[in-house]
Amino acid sequence: VALDFSANRVLRDCGAHYPIFQSPMGWIARSRLVSAVANAGGLGIMETSSGDIPGLCAEFAAMRELTQAPWAINLPVMFVKRYEAILDEVIASGVRFVTTSAGDPGLYVRRLQEAGIKVYHAVPHLDGARKAEDAGVDGLVVEGGESASIRNPKEVGLMALLRAVRKACALPIVAAGGIADGWGMAAAFALGAEGVQMGTRFVASAESPVHANYKQGIVDAGLYGTTIINRGIGPCLRVLKTSLAEAVVSGKSDFVNTMDAAKMAYFEGDLGAGLVPAGESSAVIDTVLPARMIVEGMIDEFEQALRGMPRVIADTSVQI
């Protein structure tokens, strides 16, 4: 590949080969998927939002056997507040990169940085980006409303959000939401990102631990195959538009997606038993692929796209 990422701040901070992050995803972003992405040159990010501390500690340990490449851990701040001992486990795991989310990163950023860890904070809006910059984080993950899973009620699409954050903040940005290939990656870079993060694309990967029905649901979803539940009444969730999701959205069902219900759908493949997160990027995903093919195919497409827009690349962190 003829791409030169030597000026790319995201790679400088995270140590991966390519600026492609695999999202932290409760119960899903575990050692098998995270190590597959790391071994392919991307940055796999382990989840902790499941709150399954013993399981997660075993997963951190398993990573030592599975990869020599850099990998990362996500810490939702509201979860760390309930279980601060996780910070010691994260520091002991040897990771050099953490993303924080869901809360004030200022609470833990110093402690992590003093342990030699770079900290990027995930934000769904401009206010959050400004606050995170003031709190001293090293970079931002900027999540547009196209993204899967828990969404801010005041959602805005990635294109406008990315530009707004780029203008307001000097930090390196990783863009998330609606991205599933190298063309989307190039678009994000043209708007000021220096990396991309994808969740849905990696749910539908060979190494993802979810049931084939969930993966196929993403492949079959098409352009209109996701929907948002709880819009306007609390934490919203972008999920696959299954019959269950449609019943919830229309008010015909008062189903609550407990962890157990979601896990039935994730791992038993019963999409009538629980809601499954998926982003608008489902529209671009038409086959289940190994993580290595996802990462390498994306870099090939990214290069093709950049060759098609030479005026834009002069402005980004990659030379060709």
Q: Assess 24 for contact with ligand FMN (CB under 6 A).
A: yes
Position 200 contacts ligand FMN (CB under 6 A): yes
Contact between 93 and ligand FMN by CB under 6 A: the answer reads no
> For residues 25 and 294, which CB has a smaller minimum distance to ligand FMN in the complex?
25
CB 29 to ligand FMN: min, Å: 8
CA-angle at 182, arms to 132 and 173, nearest 5°: 10
Give the Å distances, CA to CA, from 312 to 273, 306, 307.
Answer: 46, 8, 10
42 is an interface residue for ligand FMN by CB under 6 A = no
Minimum distance, C-beta of residue 143 to ligand FMN, in the bound complex (Å): 4
Kindly calculate the radius of gyration of the chain based on its CA atoms and give it in whole angstroms.
Answer: 18
> Does residue 274 belong to the site contacting ligand FMN (CB under 6 A)?
no
- Is 155 a binding residue for ligand FMN by CB under 6 A? The answer is no
- Scanning 85-93, 129-137, 140-148, 186-194 for contacts with ligand FMN by CB under 6 A, the matching segment is 140-148
CA 84 – CA 145 distance, rounded (Å)? 30
Say which amino acid occupies 198. M
Annotate each residue in 97-116 with x if it binds ligand FMN (CB under 6 A) or - if it does not, as one string.
----x---------------
Of the residues 117, 279, 295, 298, which one makes contact with ligand FMN according to CB under 6 A: 279
Strands 149-151, 236-240: pairing is: antiparallel
Helix axes 291-307, 182-190, angle to 10 degrees: 50
Three-class SS of residue 38? helix
Please list, in sequence order, all residues whose beta carbon lies within 8 angstroms of the beta carbon of residue 85, skipping any fewer than 6 positions away: none
Residues that bind ligand FMN (rule: CB under 6 A) add up to a total of: 29
Among 19, 42, 177, 184, binds ligand FMN (CB under 6 A): 177
- Told to check if 137 binds ligand FMN by CB under 6 A, we report no
SS (H, E, C) 294-310: HHHHHHHHHHHHHHCCH
Residues near ligand FMN (CB under 6 A) are: 23-26, 28, 47, 49, 74, 76, 101, 122, 143, 146-149, 176-179, 197-201, 203, 277, 279, 281
